[in-house]
Structure 1
Amino acid sequence: MAAVQQEVTIHNALTANALTANALTANALTANALTANALTANALTANSLTRGALRDPVSRELLSFIVSCALPEEERVEVKVDGVQYSFDGDLGLAPEWGQKRGSCDESCQEWVSACLLARVNYRGEHVMISLRGKNRALSSSKWERARYDTSEATYFGNVFGEHQRLLACLAPGKRSIPRVCGPSVENCPIDVVGKCEDVCDGPRSDGSFSDCHDREPLKLPCGTPVFPRGTDRYKASVSVFLE
């Protein structure tokens, strides 16, 4: 039981700047170079763009969170850059296949890792323990954890690895802001807050999490039936955050 609790309660201190296109471009970590290849030391250093990107501390910050989200806690990626050894530890294991010898990160993998990264953004870059829950075996939670982390904050989803990043969130029932991630204003949030989770997602599930979320609010017809506009994207992977 202790192992399960450790897997889904985790610190968040990822800065928004590290998650934006500033750290996922040809000048830093290239999304294509990452997702098309295995998340291993050999694959990272064999690609000249990725190897060069790891000279940047912001890129290393982002990679540390990517590895933590994707790989299980018994795995570690160690790379040497300009004679300096860096270690990146796995933790949650949302996309373990990415760390296999000939692994890669498909759309499902990208969405799970993206949701995890978004959930771990902190406006001030501070370490705060949070509970992550969702429709993934790696996010199973214990009764103890659900009792301790009982304040629902928001649900996060999107894809940070695409050509056009989608950084999305919805508000938990009764919430009007996400100060941990957005700071004092939702309007100036680095993540696009698309509405209330009960409007844009399915759920809540038994653990309080929401799933299968849309990237915009539905239209309200006169009869009260919500209808999502044409062109609305739906994300099967999402991570809901709970606070103490």
Structure 2
Amino acid sequence: MKSAHQIALIVCVAVSSSQIACVASAELDDEEVAEVQQEVIVHNALTRNALTRNALTRNALTRNALTHNALTRNALMGNAFTSEALRDPESRELLSFIVSCALPEDEHVDIEVKGRRYRFRGELGLAPEWGKARGRCDEKCQEWVSACLLSRVNYMGEHVTISLRGNDHALASTRAERRRYDHVEAAYYGNVFLERQRRFACLAPGETSIPRVCGDSLEDCVVDVVGSCADVCNRPRSDGSFPHCRDREPIRFPFGIRVFPPRTEVYKRAITAFLE
């Protein structure tokens, strides 16, 4: 019997009625891949506007009000900024995905807006500590939740099922899942909770686009596509996911020498998406 926190992750547009629980997350070693027995189905149609244009601005959910406080009803509704922001449907949409990424499936957050009650359910459990009393979302939490949010943007609004993997127990996968979802799409990473959002993706080797997230062109994509994951990330783990990804491509010199420019940032928490 596998431990309760070893859970596979599959993402699609429709939420299954037979989801299992995700519990506390823990980062894995780069070469460790937990073998699990079941899968989780979650929603992946976060809109670009909810992530970028309105929901994380001074006019809506403020970054500090979110990350410096617990992801609980009392903390959200007790803060004037967040309680006012949640009147905006796009702010509620973003919050629903934040809760889904951060908290395990057996937890939820209830809020009341203009007499109407909303329930936001946890699913993946990438930052369960955020939902505890006096919880906060530190850099590790912010990067995991950001990678999860970016991987779940859906440009076309189509029903696309994907498998998400990374070096965290909440992203563990089954053998059957890895066989079925064997086409690497891209890796996603960054931090959307900073004043100037950092939204990055790298392409799977041989890929030139990410239509699910970017549409027909990379020019106006919600993420900055920085090149091939083979160039900007460490070698893939045994589940195919790319760890430790950088925010810019290396400078190439003769004889195969590559050097990253100064001030290149490395993101330890990246999530790789796989398609059928």
Q: TM-score, normalised by structure 1?
A: 0.96
**1:75 has 2:107 as partner:** yes
C-alpha contact 2:7 2:169 (8 A) present in aligned 1? no
> Residue in 2 aligned with 1:132?
164
**Structure 1 counterpart of 2:210:** 178
Distance 1:57 1:103 in 2: 25
Q: CA deviation at 1:81?
A: 1.4
Distance of aligned partners of 1:143 and 1:123 in 2 relative to their CA distance in 1, 3 Å threshold: same
Deviation per CA, 1:90-121: give whole Å up to 9, x if none.
Answer: 00000000000010000010000000000000
Contact 1:21/1:165 (CA < 8 Å) preserved in 2?
A: no
Post-superposition CA distance 1:158-217 (Å, at most 9, x none): 000001100100001111100000000112212100000010001211000001100000
- Give the Å deviation of 1:46: 0.5
Q: How does 1:58-97 map to 2 (within 5 A)?
A: 58-97=90-129
**1:4, distance to aligned residue in structure 2 (A):** 2.4
* Map of 1:147 onto structure 2: 179
Whole-Å separation in 2 of the counterparts to 1:55 and 1:128: 29
Separation of aligned partners in 2, 1:209 and 1:54: 35
Three-state SS of the structure 2 residue aligned to 1:189 is: coil
- Does residue 31 of the first structure (1) align with residue 63 of the second (2)? yes
Return the match for 1:4 from 7, 11, 23: 7
The separation in 2 between residues aligned to 1:200 and 1:83, in whole angstroms, is 48
SS, match of residue 223 in structure 1: helix
Matches within 5 A, 1:196-215: 196-215=228-247
Q: Does the 8 Å CA contact 1:8/1:131 hold for their aligned counterparts?
A: no
1:11-26 alignment runs, 5 A limit? 11-26=43-58
Count of aligned pairs between the two proteins: 244
The alignment's C-alpha RMSD in Å is 1.5
SS in 1 for 2:161: strand
Percent identity, aligned pairs only, is: 66
Task: Report the secondary structure of 2:111's partner residue.
Answer: strand
Partner SS for 1:167: strand
Measured after TM superposition, the shift of residue 38 of structure 1 is 0.3
- Give the whole-Å Cα distance in 1 for the aligned partners of 2:159 and 2:129: 28
- 2:244, 2:83 → 1: CA distance? 35
Aligned-pair CA distance for 1:5: 3.4
Aligned equivalents of 1:171, 1:179: Cα separation in 2: 11
Unaligned runs of 5+ in 2: 10-38
Structure 1 residue 138: Cα displacement: 0.6
Tell me, yes or no, if structure 1 residue 160 matches structure 2 residue 163: no
Does the 8 Å contact 1:70/1:98 carry over to 2? yes
CA displacement at 1:21 relative to structure 2 = 4.3
More helix, by proportion: 1
| Residue segments in structure 1 that go unaligned for 5+ positions in a row | none
**Correspondence 1:56 to 2:59:** no
Task: Work out whether residues 73 and 92 of structure 1, in 8 Å CA contact, stay in contact via their aligned partners in 2.
Answer: yes
2:99 maps to amino acid? V
Question: CA shift at 1:11, angstroms?
Answer: 3.0
- Counterpart of 1:223 in structure 2: which amino acid? F
Cα distance in 2, alignment partners of residues 93 and 49 from structure 1: 25
Distance in 2, matches of 1:21 and 1:232, equals 26
Q: Is the 8 A contact 1:41 1:78 kept in 2?
A: yes
Aligned AA (1:90): G
Find the aligned partners of 2:116 and 2:220 in 1 and give their Cα distance. Answer: 38
CA distance in 2, matches of 1:39, 1:4: 22
Distance of aligned partners of 1:59 and 1:126 in 2 relative to their CA distance in 1, 3 Å threshold: farther
